[in-house]
Structure 1
Amino acid sequence: MATIHRTTMNPTKLELLEAWLPGQPFYAGAGTPRLEKNAGFRLDDPAGEVGIEFVIVTDVSGPEPVVYHVPQTYRAEPLEGAEAALVGTSEHGVLGTRYIYDGAADPVWRDVVRELFGGTQQPQAQSVPETAEPGVRVAGAGADAQHVEIVRRPVPGDPADHADAGAFVVGFWFAGGTRVTGTLLRAAVA
């Protein structure tokens, strides 16, 4: 299980995302977002080297809030060849400099997500050590996920309502003070 440190990060995760998000093709806003932490969960790197977090934030800068899902990895050293996926660096109060990447570009993230779909990883609470996150479920567990799609702007709804939904991960977030669920990851399976 990953160790969760109760400490500071400078700049914060939200500050890094506010600077990074406008440059992404899925960004729906104009200008700089104003992000609020919404929800999320973690997965554990079996080697214990890479932090893996699924971050759900809400941009409240526009007339209507927009929810974004940004999986991230946290590393002690730069990830070679992933410069374009670098969200930023931050000084962690315990661990020192952390290199934070968009998870999709990190091979450890891809391997652990395949394990999640395969049924050998369990979603963990974002802020509570050694605690499963019951609000996240995998449909199609045991699947050999060949290609995983990140749903960057999730919308409420259950993919199980569709017969051809395949394998997917459903998570939760808050919209207008109400807890809603929807697809966060989809997988093509072999």
Structure 2
Amino acid sequence: MTVPEARDAQRPPPVQDAVTATPIDHPDRAELMSAIASVRFTRFERRGAAADLDAAIRAGQEAVGETPPGHPDRAENLMFLGSCLGMRFELARAAADLDAAIRAGQEAIAATRPGDPHCSGYLAALCAALFTRFEQTRDVVDLDAAIRAGLAALAVAPEGHPDRIIYKFLVDHAESARSDRIGPLAETDVAP
């Protein structure tokens, strides 16, 4: 064996090769698929190739499918998938992608453990996605759900959280749209 061959033999295989070599029922497979999704999304961000975004979504779907309910990574995998789907909606304007992004966000929030520091971000992302769908469909149900999600994000984000101003902006923007359209949301309707 030559020195370059020895070096290559010591290098870990690319992530895709690791997935191919990993049995379908291996407990680390979801983590590997999540890594592939992240790598492909990063590549999409750098190169702008839709094929990379599609590959990130496929890998993200597989990661979610292989992450059982109750697993501590399930919410994060769902949220990442939702973000990828939301990005594809922004590019292609396919309503099915936005709907799937919202479902993934709702599932992520349902899978979030109490006290998870990411919960406020998940709620804010859901608020933004629901508001985007409202802008497309003009369905007030989505607008009201966006407001509730934004208010919930503010409620769980501790004082001094660096993103509170963003959450407040999302809520204010959605409430302004609602007031312009049909009036403010009733106090009894704001519970998340």
Sort the TM-score into its range (normalised by shorter chain). under 0.3
Tell me which of the two structures has the higher relative contact order, counting C-alpha pairs closer than 8 angstroms and 6 or more residues apart.
1
So what's the TM-score if we normalise by structure 2? 0.27
Larger Rg over CA atoms:
2
